[in-house]
Every structure is written in structure tokens, then in C-alpha cells.
Amino acid sequence: MSAPSHDAGSGRMRITLKIWRQEGPNRPGKVETHFLPDVSPHMSFLEMLDVLNERLIASGLDTVAFDHDCREGICGACSLVIDGRAHGPEALTTACQLHMRHYSDGDTIHVEPFRANAFPVLKDLMVDRSAFDRIISAGGFVSSPTGSAPDGNAILVPKPDADRAMDAAACIGCGACAAACPNASAMLFVAAKVAHLALLPQGQPERERRALAMVHAMDEEGFGSCTNHFECMAACPKGISVESIARMNRDFALSFLKEAPDLPTGSSVG
Amino acid sequence: MSPTPPQLDSKCPSGPISERWDKHRFELKLINPANRRKFHVLVVGTGLAGASAAASLADLGYRVSVFCIQDSPRRAHSIAAQGGINAAKNYPNDGDSVQRLFYDTVKGGDFRARESNVYRLAQISNQIIDQCVALGVPFAREYGGGLANRSFGGAQVSRTFYARGQTGQQLLLGAYSAMMRQVGSGRIALYARREMLDVVVIDGVARGIVCRNLVTGAYERSAGDAVLLCTGGYGNVFYLSTNAKACNVTAVWRAHKRGAYFANPCFTQIHPTCIPVSGSYQSKLTLMSESLRNDARVWVPKQKGEPRPPHNIPDEDRDYFLERRYPSFGNLVPRDVASRAAKERCDAGFGVGTTGLAVYMDFRDAIRRDGEGAIRQKYGNLFQMYAKITADDPYHVPMRIYPAVHYTMGGLWVDYNLESTVPGLFVLGEANFSDHGANRLGASALMQGLADGFFIVPYTIGGHLAGRKLPAVSPTDKAFEDSERSVRERIDRILSIGGKRTVDSFHRELGKIMWDHCGMARTGSGLAFAKQGIQALRSEFWENSRVPTSSAGLNQNLEHAGRVADFLEFAELMIDDASQRSESCGGHFREESQTDEGEAKRDDERFSYVAAWQHEGVGKESTLHREPLAFEYVRPSQRSYK
């Protein structure tokens, strides 16, 4: 590489955006077309939306609502479907880390919110993902009240286990998995948390109860069933593997056999 | 110096420093476990401080309500911290101790923090690691299964615990999961997408808050027995910073206007290793963890306007300026020192990139020494992030970096109990001013946030709840009504301006004023100029800003406008604080006060105090109160990293 490329030419691009607009929950939505004549290839996708919003304000129009916060790919706030793909065309990339250099002059880009029954649209591109918080509150934790912990090194964790736990714990809770799934299942999100804690000694005492409780909560929130399409893994910006799902199914089956609980019909684990 | 005003009693215990926290805890009043459920605590913000406080208070049996601005408490900006968390475990057997962590932190803060607070922080650091491990935080491990440590941010011992480059994420998710467990148990009520817009003070005590529901636009009143502000720092006053977009000063500023003193607002941290600005559309800056400095060498070409690409420039034509100026610490000097050194080279015309506002951070030698695989293992996610943003491959081309606003050491003044000058109003984490003095060391923010939330406020809040008469209050009380009215009137006023300029353009202009005159270097005349500029900009904002009015409910531009309006008031206080402190210390560099070698020169005779500001009204001069700082254990010296 000779010259650092983000200094390279400032070739401006003309971009047409087809954006989902919806005033509120339970309101009809529509696709609106906007033209941006002057997009820099070094902008992030969200910075392009910022530019659009500045123009909308100047024209006296309402801005496009979208969730965003850290813009570093870690908070999980962004929730855009770009040209039919959750977080857009780049693998392992959240929408906020997608840069316009991946597009060409004259492109038309479709932007929609994450779609899932359990993620109702609040406005435009913004959805309600509080279902994920409720699933965590059902069991996605280790019950260790403050002050009750032994010395950190009293709990030894083999490095490979810690590394695999970290792989699963890297989930940012964005919901792309559910948005990408044809059944709008939240299996990968739930499985990532179950796997993270099941791989660690600290997670063992509640391991089976956790899987059971989280799967029940997922069902109650109206997420669909997992039928092994693995679109979730393709959409996941953090590369969470579907191996987690297999791991969770095992814990779920074990707890199911042991506790024989009353499961709601149509539970998503098959 | 005048005697400490009574309202600035730090309540630091006396006696040997290592026994003070124990002694204080013993003297604090306890609340009977059966009575705790009668008390209702309002926690605003769900970063490390807020989430850990909420979880711990609920564990104790208090009723807790939690409010956060994001759609989920898991997204608070603590999530973005990369490098690590310090603790004095001394697992690597390299000579660390509570005493050494205490010493490093007081010195690193350039002797502008309270010794008692910092010592307690160092003592608590070890418990934090234990608690986080127990919660399932997947810290990095050695092959034997023990916790791994690394050296970080200028420390000469390896005391930093980490989870790849995502330590903040993993710690926050740990604290969040502990909090969500109590949401599930019904002890915590969670309110997301709420912005706190006022603290309600009744009979001089904080008894509630007023929030705006960011989805419906409704104003919501909450009454309680104590209010905890855990709302982070104000770095976005500079517009461009490494903070998340929603980070703002509003909650603490509104509390300040209700009587909470604001301490050391000019103490801000400029982090040396961030990805440089690339264009006028730039919406934020991205940090590259300073852990990278462990394996990188920072340099600029020796020749101005050097035309060769960096990898073709031989060593003899490179100026490794940190190693040159600071031979004993080299690339690991503290953040403020490294930032100023980079600025000095760029100002002198040696900067690189199209803007000339960047220096190289080069991994060539580490890759030659340890192999690309080893570097990938340590920093893979950071290299990937850098490549995504810049389209450069840092394995082969040096990173280009420049300092950026990252953290604010200033914040609401709190005593040893973390209680502000408004009784019943506690301030935790970055939102308070307490432990970092004039410069924060790397991997200490996570430590402080969790110390405050897990292990300090759960005890000290008992002193307030048991020690004061707290008559029943209701959200229908007149104080709540008045508060809601003032909040509503301010928002209605913003909606009615109907001017021509966007809110974002005001924010950018404010940021530029602050960066140019209250950033890495400050002068008396520059600050005076900035003050006028801010006043003029604030007037224009209230006459000429434009917010879309089509939505009274969910309206992100209106949210931003409210925050920018507060930044425009707060910025002036920052300028006042920087003006009165005509010494240099830590991140506060007054060009008038430097050594012959261009290092920050403190003036302990005149400035060994905490500046605590009392609000007197917008556009009126605030009143400065001084809390003197005494150093019994670490003798103030000129910091030297040579």
C-alpha cells in the first residue's frame, strides 16, 4: 500500500436513498426517496444520514429517526437493514462502522428498520428491543450478590474455555440475528449468553435453569422458532457462531428432562 | 487561603490513611434490613457506576428505580472502554501494592485529588476484580487458568485486567446482568429512553427527578429518598470526542443549577491515540486503546514535508519523539504528556497526513520481534476497527493518530460519601470529580465507576437515609409541579425559536471554540476570547436555532437541542475555571505556566485546591469556593517521566 487511502481522492458520490418513514407505532409506513449529491467516500453510513437530516431540517421537514450512540460498533444501538441485510453489505460490521467507500457514485440504497414481531417500530428506523432486556432479566446472569465473591484467582478458568466464553460474550445485543432470521428467532442472542456463562465455572450452578428461563422468556416475547437457516450467524457483526445454539439446546434438553417444567406449546427449541 | 467553607467539608476521616475507610464505615449509620425496602432510591444512568450501584442497593433490599437515556441500559458508554481495569492484586509478583496504586494515582493526577479518596479507591480495587469474576466477566487468562495482567498507560507494574480490547463492554455487561437479575426479581424498576431534566429539591434535600419520556414526549415525575447521578462526563462539549453521541452534561448541569457545586470543570483528558479527523462531516472520534503503546513506537519524520510513505522512511530519518524526550518512560508516558508531545511536533510542522494533524504509531518492530500472529492475538479487534475506519492496514502501514477529548476529570463536587452539596444527591463515576485529580491514568475509569457503585455508595447512602428526617413526599407536591413546569417551558421555548441554523451547527461551533481555546493548551487571552464567543453563540442559539416541530413525541433533534443549550451554559463555567487556574497541572496546560523544557508547571502555593463553583444564574458570574488539598502521604513533586 503506497499512500494511506483515507487521504486519497475526495471523489464525491451521488447517492439516492430509499428510506422507511413511519410516524409512530401502529401508523402506516412508506418508503421516501432522498437524493444526496455530495457524499464523501470517507463518511460512515450514519454520517451520511446526519447529512441527510441536516438537509431535511433546512427544508423544514422532520428528521429521520434512527438509533445510534457509540458509533464504534460496540454499543449495539444501530438497527438498520441496508439493501435487505441487517447492518448492510460488509461482513462483521455494524451499520455505524460501514463506510461509504463501499458504494459507488450513482448508487441507490434502501434503508429500513430491523423487522421482527418482537421489535415493534417506534418511528422511522427506530425499533423497540426491550424484549432483549427482559430475556436477560429472566436468567442471563450469575446470581452473585455484591460482596459475596471469593478471590479472583480462587476460580481458575482454563484459557481455551475463557477464550470461547469471550467469543460468545462479545454479543452486542443489537438484534441483527433476529432481524435476519426468516422466523425472527432470537436464538443466537439467547444462545450467546447461555454459552458464555455455561463455559465458565461461575455459570455452572444456574446453568440449566438459565437456559430454560431464557428460552421461555424468548418465546413469551414473540420471537419465532429456530429452523437452522443460520442467517443469524451471517448477519452477526461480532461473528457469534451457531455452535452456541447447539450448546444451549443441550442445556435446555437436560434441564427439561430433569425439571419437566410446564412448557408453553410451540417452544422454539426443536 | 481562606478557610474551607462549611458546605465544602470533605468529611474525610482522620487517622492513618489505611484505616480511614474502615473507620468511616464503622461510624456510618446502618439501616435495619427489614427497613430497607421502605426506602426508594432513584438511580440515573446505567453505566458501570449506575448499574453496579443499582444492583448492589437492590441486593441490600432497597427499592430502586433506574433511568437511562439509551433504549437499553446495556448500551451506556462504559461499553466502549477498551483497555482494562486496574487493581492492586500483585498477581504478577512485580511489586504492586495498594500503596503503589495509591501513589501512582495521586502522582498521575498531578496532585490535585484527595488522598483519602484515592487510597480508598486503591483498597477497593481488588474487591472489584473478585466481584466481576464472580459475575462471569470473561477476563483474559494465563494458561494455568489464573487471571492475566498487562502493563498499561505508563504504569511500571502489570496491574491491568482485561477482556481482549473490550474490557468496558464485558464489565458493563457484568454489572448490567447483576442489575437485570434484580429487575427480574422486582426490586428494580427500569425506565429506558428517559432523559433526566431536573432534580427536585424539597426542604434542601434531593427528593426526586423529572424526566422526559423520549418516545412519547411525556414528562414523568419520580419521588424517592435519594437520587444517584451516574450520568457520565461532559466531553461532548467539544463536539468531537471519543464519547458516544448521547453523552451530555444535562443531568449534572441541571443538578448544578439546583445547588450542587461543580468541581474542576476545566480538568479534561485529551487521549493521545485516536484516529484523526478526516472531514467536516465527522460526527465523532474513535479511540485506539493506549494498550497499543505497549507494542508501538510513536514517531514523525525528521524532515518537514517528508514525501516518502512511512514504511520507506529509514530509522535515521524518524524522530521517535516520546523516546527522545522521555527516555525512561518512552512511549508509555501518561496521556497528558503524550498528547502534548504530539501536538508540539504537529504545531512545529512535522505532522503527517493531509491535515498535518497526525503522528505515526508504528508496530513494525513489535511485529518483527513477536510475529504478526502475536500482535493479532493481542490487538486484532483494534486493528480491524482501525482498518474499517481508515481503509489502511496497520499490520503494514503505521497507524496515524492524534489526540482527542476522551474523559472529564471534573464533575459535580462530592464529599467522601460521594454526596454533593445538595443533601441526598449522590454523584458516582465520571459524573463526579473525585479521584483522578487533573489527569486520569489509563484503566482507572472502570475501577472508579465500579468502586463507587459496588462498594462505596451502598454504605454511604445509609448515612443519609438513617441520619436525616425524610418526610414522605409525593410526585403531586408543589415542588414537582414547579420543576415540571420549568422543564416544560424550556422545551417549549426551544420549539418556538423557529430560526435558521441547525442545532448541530451550533454544537460544532461551540466545540471548535472549546478545542481551540480550552483544549490541549490554554492561555488567559484565549480563554477570555472564548468566553465572549460562547456568550454570543448562546444568544444566537436562543434566537436562531431551528428544531423540527412536527413531532412533540419522539424528536431526536429536540433532545439534542436541549443538550446543546446546556453545553452552551456549561462551557462558560469551564472557561471560568480554566481562567482562574493560571497554573498548569495534568491535562490543564496553561501556556503561561511551563518549565524551560515545555512541561506543565504546577503552582502548589496558590492552586493546591479543588475549585468548586456555585451557580448564581445563567449569564451571572459563578461563585468560586476552594477546598484546600493536603498531602500527608505523597509529597507533591514535579512529575518527571524522563
Confidence (pLDDT) at B83: 85
Q: Are residues A221 and A202 in the same domain?
A: yes
Judge whether A79 lies within some domain. Answer: yes
Q: What is the distance between the terminal CA atoms of chain B, rounded to a whole angstrom? A: 33
**Residue B74 touches chain A, beta carbons under 8 Å:** yes
Provide mean pLDDT across the span B374-392. 89
Q: Are residues A163 and A217 in the same domain?
A: yes
Q: Are residues A89 and A199 in the same domain?
A: no
Contact residues, chain B, for A216 at CB < 8 Å: none
Q: Are residues A211 and A116 in the same domain?
A: no
**Residue A3 touches chain B, beta carbons under 8 Å:** yes
**Residue B309 touches chain A, beta carbons under 8 Å:** yes
**Residue B90 touches chain A, beta carbons under 8 Å:** no
| Element of type H or E holding B44 | strand B40-44
Confidence (pLDDT) at A3: 34
- Per-residue HEC secondary structure of A47-70 comes to HHHHHHHHHHHHCCCCCCCCCCCC
**Residue B277 touches chain A, beta carbons under 8 Å:** no
Domain extent, residue A91, equals 13-123
Q: Which residues 533-552 in chain B show a CB within 8 A of chain A?
A: 546-548, 550-551
**Chains A–B, number of C-beta pairs less than 8 Å apart:** 246
Q: Are residues A175 and A102 in the same domain?
A: no
pLDDT above 90: percentage of residues in chain B: 90
Contact residues, chain A, for B166 at CB < 8 Å: 74, 170
Residue A107 has pLDDT above 70, yes or no: yes
Cα angle B601-B604-B610, degrees, rounded to a multiple of 5: 105
Q: Are residues A137 and A118 in the same domain?
A: no
* Mean per-residue pLDDT over chain B, rounded: 95
Cβ count near B616 (within 10 Å): 10
Q: How confident is the model at residue A260 (pLDDT cuts 50, 70, 90)?
A: low
Q: How confident is the model at residue B176 (pLDDT cuts 50, 70, 90)?
A: very high
User: DSSP 3-state helix, strand, coil percentages of chain B (rounded to 5)?
Assistant: 40, 15, 40
| Residue among A55, A99, A143, A144 with most chain B CBs within 10 A, to mutate | A144
DSSP string, B124-167: HHHHHHHHHHHTT----B-TTSSBP-B--TT-SS--EE-STT-H
Q: Are residues A119 and A69 in the same domain?
A: yes
For chain B, residues classed under CATH 1.20.58.100 are 482-606
Q: Are residues A43 and A160 in the same domain?
A: no
Confidence (pLDDT) at A72: 93
Confidence (pLDDT) at B4: 61
How close does chain A come to B365, measured CA to CA in Å? Answer: 18
Q: Are residues A199 and A227 in the same domain?
A: yes
Contact residues, chain A, for B89 at CB < 8 Å: 152-153
**Residue A145 touches chain B, beta carbons under 8 Å:** yes
**Residue A158 touches chain B, beta carbons under 8 Å:** yes
pLDDT above 70: percentage of residues in chain A: 92
Cβ count near A246 (within 10 Å): 11
**Residue A257 touches chain B, beta carbons under 8 Å:** no
Residue B436 has pLDDT above 70, yes or no: yes
DSSP code for B19: G
Per-residue pLDDT of B520-570, as tens digits, reads 999 999 999 999 999 999 999 999 999 998 777 999 999 999 999 999 999
Per-residue pLDDT of B121-134, as tens digits, reads 999 999 999 999 99
The Cα–Cα gap between A262 and B4 comes to 65
The reply to whether residue B282 touches residue A47, judged by beta carbons under 8 angstroms, is yes
CB A201 within 8 A of CB A253: no
Q: Return phi, psi of residue B634, to 5°.
A: -120, 115
Judge whether A186 lies within some domain. Answer: yes
Provide mean pLDDT across the span B609-613. 98
For chain B, residues classed under CATH 3.90.700.10 are 271-405
The reply to whether residue A133 touches residue B546, judged by beta carbons under 8 angstroms, is no
Provide mean pLDDT across the span B51-66. 98
Confidence (pLDDT) at B3: 55
Residue A222 has pLDDT above 80, yes or no: yes
The Cα–Cα gap between B212 and B198 comes to 10
**Residue B413 touches chain A, beta carbons under 8 Å:** no
Confidence (pLDDT) at A270: 37
Grid coordinates representing A49 are 444520514
CB B120 within 8 A of CB B114: no
The Cα–Cα gap between A114 and A184 comes to 10
Q: Are residues A249 and A205 in the same domain?
A: yes
**Residue A183 touches chain B, beta carbons under 8 Å:** no
Cβ count near A211 (within 10 Å): 29
Nearest residue, CB atoms, B75 vs list A73, A77, A197: A77
Per-residue pLDDT of B306-358, as tens digits, reads 999 999 999 999 999 999 999 988 998 888 899 999 999 999 999 999 889 99
User: What is the number of structural domains in chain A?
Assistant: 2
Confidence (pLDDT) at B354: 87
**Residue A91 touches chain B, beta carbons under 8 Å:** no
CATH class of B482-606: mainly alpha
Grid coordinates representing A262 are 410446564
Q: Of B148-157, B277-286, B394-403, where does mean pLDDT reach its minimum?
A: B148-157
The reply to whether residue B80 touches residue A50, judged by beta carbons under 8 angstroms, is no
How close does chain B come to A229, measured CA to CA in Å? Answer: 27
Provide mean pLDDT across the span A91-107. 96
The Cα–Cα gap between B542 and B255 comes to 22
Q: Are residues A110 and A20 in the same domain?
A: yes
The reply to whether residue A60 touches residue B548, judged by beta carbons under 8 angstroms, is yes
Nearest residue, CB atoms, B279 vs list A40, A90, A144: A40
Contact residues, chain A, for B128 at CB < 8 Å: none
Confidence (pLDDT) at A10: 59
Confidence (pLDDT) at B7: 72
Grid coordinates representing B596 are 524551560
SS3 B54: helix
Nearest residue, CB atoms, A63 vs list B245, B397, B556: B556
Provide mean pLDDT across the span A74-86. 98
Judge whether A40 lies within some domain. Answer: yes
Q: Which residues 109-148 in chain B show a CB within 8 A of chain A?
A: 126-127, 129-136, 138-147
The reply to whether residue B180 touches residue A136, judged by beta carbons under 8 angstroms, is yes
The reply to whether residue A149 touches residue B134, judged by beta carbons under 8 angstroms, is yes
Nearest residue, CB atoms, B173 vs list A61, A71, A169: A169
Which CATH number does the domain housing residue A170 bear?
A: 1.10.1060.10
**Residue B72 touches chain A, beta carbons under 8 Å:** yes
Nearest residue, CB atoms, A6 vs list B161, B391, B454: B391
Pick the CATH number of B271-405 from 3.40.47.10, 3.40.50.2300, 3.90.700.10, 1.10.287.1770: 3.90.700.10
Provide the ipTM: 0.96
Q: Are residues A117 and A20 in the same domain?
A: yes
**Residue B455 touches chain A, beta carbons under 8 Å:** yes
Q: Which residues 207-236 in chain B show a CB within 8 A of chain A?
A: 215
| Nearest chain B residue to A204, by CA | B136
Confidence (pLDDT) at A268: 46
